[in-house]
Structure 1
Amino acid sequence: MNPPFPGGFRACAEASRVAALALLWLGATALPAADRRPHEQPGDPPAEAAALPRDRGPAAAFVVGEFESVQVNVDADGLNVTGDAANEPTLAVSPLDRRRIAVGWRQFDSIASNFREAGLNVSLDGGHTWEAMTTLGDGVFGSDPVLAAAHDGTFHYTTLHADPYWTEVYRSLDDLASWEAPVYAFGGDKEWTAVDRTQGQGRGHLYQAWDYAGCCGDDWFARSIDGGASFQSPLPIATQPFWGTTTVGPAGEVWVAGTHFGYNTFSAARSTNAQDPSATPSFDLTSGLNLGGALVFNAGSGPNPGGLLGQVWIDIDRSAHPQRRGWIYVLATVDPFAGSDPHDVHFIRSTDGGLTWSAPVRVNDDTVGNGAWQWFGTMSVAPDGRIDAVWNDTRNAQPPSGYQSQLFYSYSEDGGSTWSPNVALSPPFDPHLGWPNQNKLGDYYGMVSDRVGADVIYAATFGGEQNVFYLRIGDRDCNDNGVGDATDIATGFDTDLDGSGIPDRCEADQDGDGAVDALDNCVAIPNRNQNDADENGAGDACDVFSDGFETGDSGRWSQSVP
């Protein structure tokens, strides 16, 4: 259990900074244009991968206790390619078949060049093994990758182009076998994309927000209402939050969170009508946030001197919990106003739809004042409401104020009031190794939570170079019943005739619609979209009560029994 973050501010200098930022929040000041510089800029020319000498070596797994980190940026033989770099990873998991995972990252073909591309690899067995890495758009600048998976198993990969700034989105409609040509998505630097997986009118919509270095002036938000085939013209968000994330709540509401110029004020903005395809999206609620510290970037020192120490994460409880459903959570790595620690992971929540917010809670449980860095704080929320957080941590370095980092983990099962004892997931690594002609490890990591655990993607330098690693927290839960696969097999709940460790129902697809039987809400009738209008667990394609009438009601059935 962690106490709430202690109140109070650093002495006068910090009070002055807070006062100045209060004026900024009220619109009384503005930073000069020079401080609005973009932070993703092309520099070196591309390094032609085919012309580079390419030694291969083992891509070793790194194990700490029960946690195994598996390298993702590998060739067709599962080998590491030396002399390149990979960082700033993102991932998405198919809701139709959890064996299918896509990972994106910034791919540098040579550490002698900071030119990067949209790196990609996929796993078809739940992260145990990985195919051959590739790039989307060979020789094309690509940065700030963001992956999202839709309700029908469509994968969306957003990537940033620069000079001028804009984004494009690639789609995979065939279970990661191929990717369509990219679609122009307006966009800009530090973009984040979310997809609506509710059963509401916004189902399948994509929402994207970015920062001041973008295509379209002060218009920082765009949506797609046709599943990513096209994007509508962007619109403004009043408080202009940036360097954060976007998410969709259980009622189809869209939330964007981020920081502002000055970096120690934050806000969250909500749109309830973006889900309506006939409406012009607007943000009907904006909330100022106090995270108890400031966001830091390009510090010139620290573990990630040329990048962010973390971005602002927002997510929502989508569980059936009678009190917590709809609660809104925000987590960020901040330089705390109180105390001498350089960076901590702080968490806040709203229990009333964003009208009010809690005091910050310190998630990392190391000794306050030990000088340790907690950075790249990352959050995701499981379908049952559990909140997962991972971050890099130097508490075990000698001294703790050094930069040797390990990936750490904590979770909360009570809406963020208390957090589990922190656990190290990875061996230590030096984040200052393997820089690809720029001094950072990227700006963020990625994580997707389920009822049993979480899929994590992160960058580290275990072999002396930047690589991307997949790590599973907890057992896998391919049938989404909240019980680990190993337990389901051991108890006889599921069979495993081929001895793969994966329940047979998670490998079978009797109607051939791409949704494995264990997750298909209509097993015998193809229904890849998995629509379930009354949300009773039976897909509309085979639900005799899909018009909302139940046994004993007056009215008529919309379908006969298949």
Structure 2
Amino acid sequence: MHRRWFAPLLPLALVALACSSRTTAPQPLHAAAPHEEGRADSGAGGGSEEDATTAARLDALAQARAADTFGRRRQAATNDAATGWAGEQVVNPNVDDWEPAVATDPHDPYIYILTTRYGQPAPCRSHCPSPYIALTVSSDNGASWGAQVPIWGVKGSKAQYDPTITVVPDTGVVYAFFLNADRHGGFSTLFIKSIDHGQTWTDPVRPNGQVSWTDKPELTTSPSGQDVYVSWNGPTGGDLWVGVSHDSGATWKQIRVVNSRRYFYAYDGIVLPDGTVIFSESSFRYTCAGSGSSNCVSSGQVWHHAVISRDNGDTWENVIVAKVPIGEDCFSFGCGEFYTGQTSVATDANGRPVFAYEGPLTDGGPQTSYVTISTNEGRTWGDATAVSVNGEDSTQPRVVGTGRGDYRLWYMQTSDGDLQKPDGTHYWNVWYRSSTDGGLTWSAPLKISDASAGAAPYIHTDPSGNTGFDEIYGDYGEIGITSTGKTIGVWGEGISYFGPGGCWFNIQT
């Protein structure tokens, strides 16, 4: 779903603040407590606004198909692949896919991609979700791909969003979470798993228990898969919740970690070799036109958080990694505050996590993507290192680690000095960098969104001759490392925030 439930207003005049990258100490949160029911106000808008967004996305798709501007590939995707990469490919050129997730098996050649699929025929006979989560599997590290199928048909499901997926390192079992829009108007997080590489799935379990409303689930697991953690924002003004299971997802307890006026969003999660759990999150304060209004806008600063447990999920602490101003607005039709507040976190075998985030130097300015390192399991974080180009707008940094000191990262970035088209939108690309020294230094940027102009109706050449796509399509993309040590990145590209668009990926050779 859209990262914010809120319809945009005119930008507020905010105080300009420098990007904070100083070492920070944890702020304790209350100990784990049994779940408590909150009022079902997701901040504003709720299911009715998501219904409107889905309707707008389906309408944009119908118009594009009627005009014959979307729905079939007209040429090869890539004529000039990035050095060392296979070349960008679209998951399916004939469908409207939004917001992908990816998981790789560290020991076997399996890759799993999930997408949120709009406007396709119903995947079941009755009471089918729309959109639904589609699964695509490769059993040969991306050389070929199997059929694209619904991951799970849930009776009574109105729609499915926000997929996330992982492979249990020690067993190869696949865990998946997604957001389920219940027909009575609520949103619940569902957990399913597969022991046969995605051919069949267990019946869903609700990690949120009796918590009445959830959004933006993000998961991580111990190497054995016995300890599973999922973070989401809950029913009382976006408060941060965590679901914890110690029996491979069979049963769950729910913990309300934060009770504040800030609205939290989870983006990534890891378990360090010593069992420490870290979720990367961001939080906002919103100002609304009135009680229950969907006319809300973020104000103040974006805070980037490492939310950490050192006792198997019983208690949690909040480390504020950085506080940054609000970044540039998104001018694409329908998107409002789309680019701000993205984070990611990764670890290697040394247990020295790298945290990626974004932020501008001044309010409303172009964002820079940064990384910062912790040498003490997330208690404090060092000075931030910029990885994107100064003067361009950057968002969605995604980082993954392996081995000892081996980190890989991609991020979105505009071109031509944050050039805006006449309608205010940009040309976007995906850039890749890697580190072999634990994130201290990074390789030169390499553009891996290397599809040729015209490969899709939203891929064009800008006035300087650079090829890019019209709009980021999805609140996030993901990154993984295959069993042969190659990087795969997945992300969304589209005509506008409402689309249509597609999910794309590129794999190292």
- The normalised TM-score by structure 1 is 0.64
Per the TM alignment, residue 59 of structure 1 is displaced from its structure 2 partner at its CA by: 8.2
Correspondence 1:378-417 to 2 at 5 A: 378-396=398-416, 399=419, 403-417=426-440
Q: Is 2:106 the partner of 1:95?
A: yes
Q: Is 2:274 the partner of 1:251?
A: yes
Structure-2 separation of matches of 1:315 and 1:156: 18
Tell me the equivalent position of 1:317.
348
Tell me the equivalent position of 2:81.
64
Decide which of 194, 203, 223 is 1:172's aligned counterpart: 194
CA pair 128-70 structure 1, distance change in 2 beyond 3 A? farther
Q: Is 2:227 the partner of 1:229?
A: no
Tell me the equivalent position of 1:557.
none
Matched AA of 2:140: D
Tell me the equivalent position of 2:354.
329
Decide which of 170, 176, 190 is 1:157's aligned counterpart: 176
Q: Is 2:164 the partner of 1:146?
A: yes
- Mapped contact 2:113–2:136 kept (Cα < 8 A): yes
Q: Is 2:505 the partner of 1:470?
A: yes
Structure-2 separation of matches of 1:453 and 1:128: 12
Structure-2 separation of matches of 1:56 and 1:433: 13
Matched AA of 1:286: N
Per the TM alignment, residue 155 of structure 1 is displaced from its structure 2 partner at its CA by: 0.8
- Mapped contact 1:194–1:208 kept (Cα < 8 A): yes
CA pair 465-235 structure 1, distance change in 2 beyond 3 A? closer
Structure-1 separation of matches of 2:89 and 2:19: 43
CA pair 306-403 structure 1, distance change in 2 beyond 3 A? same
* CA offset digits 1:210-266 (Å, max 9, x no partner): 11348x985600022222233333442578853332211111111122122235222
Structure-2 separation of matches of 1:12 and 1:47: 35
Structure-2 separation of matches of 1:233 and 1:246: 17
Structure-2 separation of matches of 1:173 and 1:337: 49
Percent of pairs identical after alignment?
19
Correspondence 1:286-297 to 2 at 5 A: 286-290=318-322, 293-294=324-325
CA pair 34-359 structure 1, distance change in 2 beyond 3 A? same
Decide which of 51, 60, 63 is 1:42's aligned counterpart: 51
- Mapped contact 2:472–2:492 kept (Cα < 8 A): no
- Mapped contact 1:327–1:351 kept (Cα < 8 A): yes
Matched residue of 1:184: which SS? coil
Decide which of 131, 134, 138 is 1:116's aligned counterpart: 131
Matched AA of 1:344: T
Per the TM alignment, residue 207 of structure 1 is displaced from its structure 2 partner at its CA by: 0.5
- Mapped contact 1:72–1:121 kept (Cα < 8 A): no
Structure-1 separation of matches of 2:71 and 2:318: 52
Structure-1 separation of matches of 2:42 and 2:448: 40
Structure-2 separation of matches of 1:70 and 1:301: 23
- Mapped contact 1:389–1:410 kept (Cα < 8 A): yes
Instruction: State the Cα RMSD in Å.
Output: 4.2
- Mapped contact 2:344–2:356 kept (Cα < 8 A): yes
Q: Which moved more, 1:148-157 or 1:346-355?
A: 346-355
Aligned residues, how many?
A: 415
Q: Computing the radius of gyration over CA atoms, which structure comes out larger, 1 or 2?
A: 1
Per the TM alignment, residue 422 of structure 1 is displaced from its structure 2 partner at its CA by: 0.7
Tell me the equivalent position of 2:467.
none
Tell me the equivalent position of 1:73.
91
Per the TM alignment, residue 337 of structure 1 is displaced from its structure 2 partner at its CA by: 3.8
- Mapped contact 1:304–1:432 kept (Cα < 8 A): no
Per the TM alignment, residue 400 of structure 1 is displaced from its structure 2 partner at its CA by: 7.2
Structure-2 separation of matches of 1:90 and 1:295: 26
Q: Which runs of 5+ in 1 are unaligned?
A: 1-10, 19-24, 28-32, 75-79, 276-280, 319-324, 476-562
Structure-1 separation of matches of 2:336 and 2:150: 27
Tell me the equivalent position of 2:480.
448
Q: Is 2:287 the partner of 1:267?
A: no
Matched AA of 1:207: Y
- The normalised TM-score by structure 2 is 0.70
Matched residue of 1:191: which SS? strand
Structure-2 separation of matches of 1:346 and 1:38: 32
Structure-2 separation of matches of 1:258 and 1:295: 15
Decide which of 229, 233, 248 is 1:207's aligned counterpart: 229
Per the TM alignment, residue 355 of structure 1 is displaced from its structure 2 partner at its CA by: 2.6
Per the TM alignment, residue 297 of structure 1 is displaced from its structure 2 partner at its CA by: 8.8
Matched residue of 1:41: which SS? helix
* CA offset digits 1:396-455 (Å, max 9, x no partner): 578378611121111122222222111111236799949xxxx86110111113684312
Per the TM alignment, residue 180 of structure 1 is displaced from its structure 2 partner at its CA by: 2.4
CA pair 164-12 structure 1, distance change in 2 beyond 3 A? closer
CA pair 289-219 structure 1, distance change in 2 beyond 3 A? closer
